[in-house]
Amino acid sequence: MDTVQKPLLRALTGEAVWPPPFWLMRQAGRYLPEYRLLRAQAGDFISLCTTPELAAEVTLQPLRRYGMDGAILFSDILMLPWAMGQDLRYAEGEGPLLEPIRDAEGLARLDPSAMRARIAPILETVVRVREGLAQEAPKTALIGFAGSPFTVACYMVEGRGGGEFATARRLAYSDPALFGKLIRLLVDTTTDYLLAQAEAGAEALMLFDSWAGLLSPGQFRRWSIEPTAAIVRNIRKVLPDIPLIGFPRLAGPLLPEYAQRTGVNTVGMDTGMDPRWAAAHVGIEFGLQGNMDPQALVAGGGAMEAEARSILSAMRGRPFVFNLGHGIVPPTPPEHVEALARLLRMG
């Protein structure tokens, strides 16, 4: 199958494919019993992400059940700071914990030159997933990804998630020189990391800016839009045609400006975004992706179907990729994903 014909890649580059292609954020994960089994075998989450055989298998698991149009590399946005030497662990029930970076000394301890060697197993996963797709799901496209600089910086400075990243947001005001240095480092390393994924076989690239919506409009332009635009420019110099997706979660009315000024091909809509508003305000030259409430997928049944249909009707006639408004949550019954996949295939 010629990659140009993969429905996801067509939709991401401006074609109104119908029924729309779909994939789901966090489609590989704890709601699947086969994931929990491999996760237990790997021991910890970082080992799972850095063991290509297991990470590739986990990437392919949801496709075998539901035949999504997109496979997303199984990894995490925090593998980039980990690859630069920042201490990282995933504590059961607590999420990620990092050694916080809050001053010039902390920043100086990062070692970007270590990155290439430490991401090698992740790139090997990309190679294996492409081989797996060629065998098992020739119409499914592989999405590589990274966190956007601001969201990754949030975790690097705060040292943990679970709150509103007050320390990181305060640092961006109180010491913009230091925060800017961290962001610039992330622009450069994220560019390299994404280009390496594409070189290994990723067919589209996504930037997750999960916490962009915590910023004031001025800070959003400075720390979300500008660094993302810089990464897009860097990537386009090498790969002018690779489809790029940006997901500035909770951007609200700044979503159209984000699309215009970053130069991504497609923007992700979070759960709270009105798809009709997005369709009216984001230019038709951009794809839209999203945005069913992950809790509707937990609930299932008629309520879920009504949500999915209302999104479909708002997106009809424009380049669109069906997805959730944020990641699948662990209590999601796998049968509900099955029911959703069936509905989407009918369009």
Distances 287 to 16, 58, 313 between C-alpha atoms, Å: 8, 28, 15
Q: Which is nearer to ligand CP3, 78 or 229 (CB)?
A: 78
Residues tagged active-site = 26, 30, 39, 76, 155
| Contact of 150 with 80, CB cutoff 8 Å | no
Residue 307: CB minimum distance to ligand CP3, A:
19
Q: Which of residues 81-100 bind ligand CP3 (CB under 6 A)?
A: 90, 95-96
Does position 160 bind ligand CP3 by CB under 6 A?
A: no
Distances 203 to 9, 143, 238, 239, 326 between C-alpha atoms, Å: 8, 6, 14, 11, 22
Contact pick of 46, 68, 78, 88 for ligand CP3 (by CB under 6 A): 78
Nearest to 287 by CA among 310, 272, 269, 270: 269
Does position 121 bind ligand CP3 by CB under 6 A?
A: no
Indicate the Cα dihedral angle 252, 257, 263, 268, nearest 10°. 10
Contact pick of 15, 16, 18, 26 for ligand CP3 (by CB under 6 A): 26
Cis status, amide bond into 240, omega within 30 of 0 = no
Tell me the DSSP string of 49-104.
HT-HHHHHHHHHHHHHHH--SEEE-S--TTHHHHHTT--EEEETTTEEEE----SH
Residue 298: CB minimum distance to ligand CP3, A:
14
Contact pick of 45, 112, 339, 341 for ligand CP3 (by CB under 6 A): 45
DSSP annotation of 160: B
Closest residue to ligand CP3, judged by C-beta, is 210
Residue 165: CB minimum distance to ligand CP3, A:
11
Contact pick of 31, 145, 179, 193 for ligand CP3 (by CB under 6 A): 145
Which one of the spans 24-32, 170-178, 256-264, 284-292 is the region binding ligand CP3 (CB under 6 A)?
24-32
Tell me the per-residue interface mask from 301 to 340 with ligand CP3, x by CB under 6 A, - otherwise.
--------------------------x-------------
The three-state secondary structure class of 39 is helix
Provide the binding-site residues for ligand CP3, judged by CB under 6 A. 25-30, 39, 45, 72, 74-78, 90, 95-96, 145, 161, 208, 210, 327
